[in-house]
């Protein structure tokens, strides 16, 4: 019985640690479609990420993790963030190619993370 309690406590602690290695889900209620359908709003986020414009709290959080996210194929993303990241990146890449180039120049100037984030963008888990 004692052993069971201990192993359960361990399991909970491990789970808590795993949770902590995720990015915050505090902003997982942001309306991505609304942003993608409003170019002015989208460009404001992009400029925040490029550090050429002001950031909202959500933008700041995004900027904080974008490099790590690219380098780890979004492995610390929540499910919502994974799907959102794919949608937003594809949109920017296709519709805002100039900003996409600027983002790459800033966050992956040597193209060394392309082989990490490309498969992530093409997957659908």
Ligand X SMILES: *[C@@H]1O[C@H](CO)[C@@H](O)[C@H](O)[C@H]1NC(C)=O
Q: What residues line the site for ligand X (CB under 6 A)? A: 90-91, 94-95
Per-position DSSP letters for 4-48, written without gaps between them: HHHHHHHHHHHHHHHHHTSPP-TTTT--HHHHHT-HHHHHHHHHH
Q: How far is the CB of 66 from ligand X (least distance, A)?
A: 18
DSSP 52: S
Say how far apart CA 13 and CA 8 lie, in whole Å.
9
Q: How far is the CB of 6 from ligand X (least distance, A)?
A: 50
Q: How far is the CB of 13 from ligand X (least distance, A)?
A: 41
Query: Smaller CB distance to ligand X: residue 75 or 119?
Result: 119
Say how far apart CA 111 and CA 109 lie, in whole Å.
6
Query: Smaller CB distance to ligand X: residue 52 or 95?
Result: 95
Query: Smaller CB distance to ligand X: residue 62 or 92?
Result: 92
């Amino acid at each position: 019985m004692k052993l069971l309690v201990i192993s359960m406590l361990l399991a909970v602690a491990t789970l808590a640690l795993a949770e902590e290695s995720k990015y915050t889900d505090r902003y997982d209620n942001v309306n991505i479609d609304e942003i993608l359908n409003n170019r002015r709003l989208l460009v404001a986020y992009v400029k925040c990420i490029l550090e050429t414009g002001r950031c909202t709290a959500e933008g700041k959080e995004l900027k904080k993790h974008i490099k790590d996210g690219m380098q780890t194929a979004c492995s610390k993303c929540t499910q919502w963030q994974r799907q959102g990241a794919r949608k937003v990146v594809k949109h920017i890449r296709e519709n805002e190619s100039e900003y996409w180039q600027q983002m790459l120049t800033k966050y992956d100037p040597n193209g060394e993370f392309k082989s990490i984030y490309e498969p992530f963008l093409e997957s659908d888990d």
